[in-house]
A and B are shown apart, each in its own frame.
Chain A
Amino acid sequence: MNPIEVEHLRREFKTHIGVIRRKAKTVVAVDDISFAVSPGELFGLLGPNGAGKTTTVKMLTTLLIPSGGTARVLGHDVDRDPEPIRKRIGFIFGGERGLYWRLSGIDNLRYFASLYHVEPAVARKRIAYLLELVGLGDRGKEKVEGYSRGMMQRLHIARTLLHDPEVLFLDEPTIGLDPVGARELRHVVRDLQAERKTILLTTHYMFEADALCQRVAVINKGRIIAMDTPQALKGHVSDLSVVEVEVFGLPPDVLERVRGMPFVDTVSLENLDSRQWMRVQTRRGAEAVPDLMAAMSGLRVGRVVVREPTLEDAYVRLVGGEA
């Protein structure tokens, strides 16, 4: 039995639009997804914001009832049989909410330890150990209201490990963290993986999924559009090269023209302060450069780089340049 089994899972939200004439509108957040995570696996759910990652995690953690399909965690149905699941899983949602700011870090952990039925004697040792693990060993007695965002997120990690859960759901655990904090957090996740915990991690950072996950499902607009190991996903683009062009003020019609060129596979655009990076995936490699330049004649162009594709490029290709 796999710890996480998802079949044709679906979730709709009804929202109202308009102030005076309110119209009900149904939005499909998760649309017929299926996957399974095997014991001890670190599985990544990768997708842009609003792709349906958090909705999926909320259904798996019994916080949201599916509109259709089934999801089983540790053999129990998330809708009909949530209680046994809750005892054996841990979850965090990125961000700083969800802690009692007027209490110290230790008091927060103590409270959650009792909610999770951890015996007081065990809890005491475990809290000390976990605070060290997440690097809050000397700050545990301070009130949470004085914590930085990164500290709160690390306290959340400690909180979710109190009862030594078998399955962990980490929803965007590094969101909003500075690069150092994010790197430390990834170390913690890697350590957990070494303890053979089953982990489902969501992220919209490609390199994070590449660095941590054994398998990745790419999710976009509520659907899984690819699912494989990071290596195999890179294989999707192994026949392509990437031409990166630094350009100043790219007009939309030029972008469209480039998109329409026969040798161009996918184009993505990254906006920086005064310039843009246009990334063109193409089978022609460096030979594509003269044609691209011709299409952009009259524009101020900076650096031009031709390189091998990365997992990020595979991702960009899968979501159609929208990442």
Chain B
Amino acid sequence: MNAADWRHNARVALAAFDVTLRMNAPDAFVLFTILVQPLAIAVLAMFMLVARGAANALFVVVGSGMTGLWSALLFMGGNSINWERWTGTLELMVGQPTPISVIIFGKNLAIVVLSMLSMVGSYIFAALVFHQSLAIQQPLLFVMSLGFTVIAYVTFGLVIAPVFLLSRTVQQFQNAMEFPIYMLCGFLFPIALLPGWTTPFSYILAPYWAARALHGTTTGAATLSEVVLCWGMMMALAAAYLFLSHWLTRIVLHKARADASLRLE
């Protein structure tokens, strides 16, 4: 890609970001996914973890926020190609000159940024209703970790969308895919509680490293080297996801052009 291509692609991603935000902001499903459900999870976790002491409030805020981030990405990002098919715009997306991954990147970015509201919502709620002191121990590292989290989630979303388009069977498990990721990524309890054989799965999921970095920096329990390890893993996985999604998207779109499934008849 030359400089002009980069500029065009950045502009397309931004346009997709803008359009996605404006189309989804007033949607009730989005409201439920990024605010109501994470808040409910926060309330539940707050009451349940009371037994472990008040220090858990920030842990719950971060953890429930992460659940909102994942659910939004799963349902909105996962369906982003399918959604274009339902709208009848998928043919236009394939027939235009920008790689479709660039568009999905912009869309996912919008979803992830919008879903940051999950964490904000849980934070405000915990502060107002539970009167917890919510001081982040390592604010600078926390904010930087948030930045890496965005990249980790956006690229992870790039892998999901073509998979759902490729396989209807996988898509039928979409609803059942919220909780496994909550568990495998250690959003609300450590993965040490899970059987040992699941650990490698956690390690290849960028949201796991995101949760570890965010939990570590809020409580101050993480050392700098541990946080940097999380960032490095997020970046490495993001690169792997980019590669994988590029390959998957090509296959999926070629298949769709071969068996005429771009349009929903």
Chain A residues within CB distance 8 Å of chain B: 13-14, 58, 61-65, 83, 86-87, 89, 91, 93, 95, 97-103, 107, 110-112, 114-117, 120
Q: Is the CB of B87 within 8 A of A117?
A: no
Chain B residues within CB distance 8 Å of chain A: 8, 11-12, 14-16, 19, 22-23, 87-89, 91-98, 103, 254, 257-260, 262
Q: Is the CB of A111 within 8 A of B15?
A: yes
**Contact partners of B89 in chain A: CB under 8 A:** 97-100
Q: Assess A100 versus B23: contact at CB under 8 Å? Given A13-B260, A112-B92, A115-B103.
A: yes
Q: Assess A112 versus B260: contact at CB under 8 Å? Given A97-B88, A99-B89, A117-B8.
A: no
Q: Is the CB of A64 within 8 A of B260?
A: yes
In the bound complex, how far is the Cα of B35 from the Cα of A321, in angstroms? 62
Q: Knowing that A13-B260, A97-B89 are A-B contacts, what are 14 other residue pairs whose CB atoms are under 8 Å apart, sorted by A's residue number?
A: A58-B91, A62-B257, A63-B95, A98-B92, A100-B19, A100-B23, A100-B89, A102-B22, A111-B16, A111-B19, A115-B96, A115-B97, A115-B103, A117-B97
Select from chain A the residue with minimum beta-carbon distance to B18.
Answer: A111
**Contact partners of A62 in chain B: CB under 8 A:** 94-95, 257
**Contact partners of A13 in chain B: CB under 8 A:** 260
In the bound complex, how far is the Cα of B258 from the Cα of A103, in angstroms? 31
Q: Which 3 A-B pairs have the closest CB atoms?
A: A97-B88, A114-B15, A87-B97
Q: Main secondary structure on chain B at its contact with chain A? A: helix
In the bound complex, how far is the Cα of B19 from the Cα of A36, in angstroms? 39
**Contact partners of A112 in chain B: CB under 8 A:** 92, 96
Partner of B87, one of A89, A97, A107: A97
Q: Is the CB of B257 within 8 A of A61?
A: no
In the bound complex, how far is the Cα of B9 from the Cα of A117, in angstroms? 8
Q: Is the CB of B97 within 8 A of A86?
A: yes
* Distance (whole angstroms) from the CB of A24 to the closest CB of chain B: 12
Show 18 A/B contacts (Cβ-Cβ < 8 Å), sorted by A: A14-B259, A58-B91, A61-B95, A62-B95, A63-B257, A65-B254, A65-B258, A86-B96, A97-B87, A99-B89, A100-B23, A100-B89, A103-B19, A103-B23, A111-B19, A112-B96, A115-B96, A117-B97
